[in-house]
Structure 1
C-alpha cells in the first residue's frame, strides 16, 4: 500500500476474485460501471474523479482483519467468501473532504460490481459487506458517508474515528459507565458536524435534545496514534464534558 503523503489519506480495501490485474481490468470493463483502470489510476470517465489503485496478491490476514472490523457480519456467507479471495485492491485518495470521500465510495462500489467481496475502510477500521456498501452509496444524499467511514471505540474513554476522511474533527467523551449512551452521544454530535457544518468554538455547549444533558465542547488532542497511522486526525478532536448543574 502506498506510503502516507497527504495530510489526510483515505484508503479503502476491497478483496476480490481477480487472478491478475488483467482479470480485474476485464471485469471492470464488462461491469459497465463507467470506470477505466489504467496504470495505477481508477477513473470515472464522466466525472473524471479518480484515485490510485494498488493491486496486490491474496493476503492470508485479510479474513481476520475484516472480521475484526466488521463483527456484526463476521459469521455471514459474505464474510466467508472473503476467506477465498484471490487478490486485494487498495483504493487511495488524499484530501479529506466529503466530496472526495463520497467519490472514493463510488469507486469502491464499482469494484464490487466487478466482483469485489466487501469494503474495509483502512483509515478508520470499519468493514462493510457488499450490499450494505451499495446501499450507503445510493444514500449519499442522506449523508450516509458518515456511516460508511466513522466508528466508535469504547474503553475508559469513548471516541470516534474516521471523521478526518470527511474533513472534520473527531470527538471524545469520558466513559461514565454507560458506553452505549456515550456512543450515541458521539454519533449524534459527529453526524451534526457532518450534516449541518456548524461553526463550533471551544466553550460552546451541545446537547442531543432540549431536555437532555448539556456538554461543554473543548479542544482535545484525542487518542495517541503512531506517527504514520491512517487513523490520526490532523483536524483535531472535540472533547465533550458534562455541564454540572
Structure 2
C-alpha cells in the first residue's frame, strides 16, 4: 500500500499514515461503510470484503492550502488532487485493497463503481467532463436533515456545497431533488457565471420548470477544523 500511494499519488503527496493504519479486524468498519452511502453501489462481494477485512490502511495527502489561493488557481489545483485521489483509489483496489472509503467527504462506492469512475476520469477529454466524473466520485448527496437536503464534498473540488429546502416522500421525488442539486452543483463547478451569482437570484432547470431562489450561507453545520467543513459555504435553493 505504501509503495502504491507513493507511486500513484506522488504529485499530491499521498502517503500511508503509519500512525493509524493497523493490521487486524476493526469491528466498527462495517457500520462506517453503511453510513457512507455504500448501499448505493455495494454488491454482496463488497460487503463481504468489508466484513472480513484483516487490516485498515489510511492514506493522507499533504496539507492542502488551496483556499488561500485566488479562485482561478484554487479550483484547478483541487480538481487535480481529486483526480489523483481517484486514480490512487483504483490502483489500491487493483493492488490488493478490498474496499475504499473517503474520510474527507464520508462517501464510498463499491469496487466496480470506483474502477468505473477512475476509467471515466482517464477517458475524459474536456474539463467539464472531468468535473462531472469527479463530482459523482466525490460529492455525497442527498443528505437529509428532515427539513432540507444537502451535499458534502464540494470543498474537495473548490466550490460551495448545495442545499435544497425539500422533504421528498417518494423515490421519484428524491430523484427529482437530486437532479436539481446536481444541476446547480455542476453549474458552480463549470460555468464562470456562477462566480457572479447573488442572493435572491432565480434558478430553474428549464424555462418551464419551477423557479427556485438562491441564497448563500456559511457552512455552520461543521466546525472550521472538521474535515467536512466547506469554507466556501452553501448555496441554498428555496421554492420561489
TM range (shorter): 0.7 to 0.9
Q: Could you tell me how far 1:183 is from its partner in structure 2?
A: 2.8
Change (3 A) 1:113 1:75: closer
**Larger relative contact order (CA 8 Å, sep ≥ 6):** 1
| SS of structure 2 residue aligned to 1:225 | coil
Question: Aligned-residue CA RMSD in angstroms?
Answer: 2.3
**Cα shift at 1:231:** 1.2
- Give runs of ≥4 in structure 1 deviating > 4 Å: 176-179
Structure 2: distance between partners of 1:148 and 1:206: 25
Runs of 5+ unmatched residues, structure 1: 1-23, 29-34
Within a 5 Å distance, the mapping from 1:11-22 to structure 2 comes to none
In the alignment, does 2:11 pair up with 1:54? no
> What's the CA shift string for 1:86-128, capped at 9, x where partnerless?
2212222243611111111111211111111122121111111
**Paired position in structure 2 for 1:77:** 45
Match of 1:147 in 2: 136
Q: How far has the Cα of 1:50 moved from its partner?
A: 3.0
Conserved 8 A contact 1:43-1:50: no
User: For 1:236, which of 206, 210, 233 is the aligned residue?
Assistant: 233
CA distance in 1, matches of 2:117, 2:196: 27
Query: Is 1:215 matched up with 2:182?
Result: no
From 32, 40, 56, give the equivalent of 1:65: 32
Partner residue, 1:87 = 55
**Which residue of the partner structure matches residue 9 of structure 1?**
none
Offset, 1:216: 2.1
- The structure whose residues are more often helix, as a share, is 2
8 A contact 1:67–1:79 mirrored in 2: no
SS of corresponding position for 2:16: strand
TM-score, length of structure 1 as denominator length? 0.75
The partner residue of 2:152 within 161, 167, 173 is 161
> Can you give the 5+ residue segments of structure 2 that lack an aligned partner in the other structure?
67-77
Q: Which moved more, 1:155-164 or 1:213-222?
A: 213-222
- Worse-superposed segment, 120-129 or 68-77: 68-77
Match of 1:31 in 2: none
How far off its partner does 1:192 sit? 2.4
Report deviation, 1:162.
Answer: 0.7
Deviation for aligned residue 1:214: 1.9
After superposition, what is the alpha-carbon deviation per residue over 1:174-217, rounded to whole angstroms, capped at 9, x for unaligned? Answer: 12545613332112211222233532422332211221112222
1:234/1:84 CA distance change after superposition, 3 Å:
same
Change (3 A) 1:238 1:52: same
Aligned residues: 206
Aligned partners of 2:42, 2:34: CA distance in 1, in Å? 5
Indicate which of 115, 119, 122 corresponds to 2:100.
119
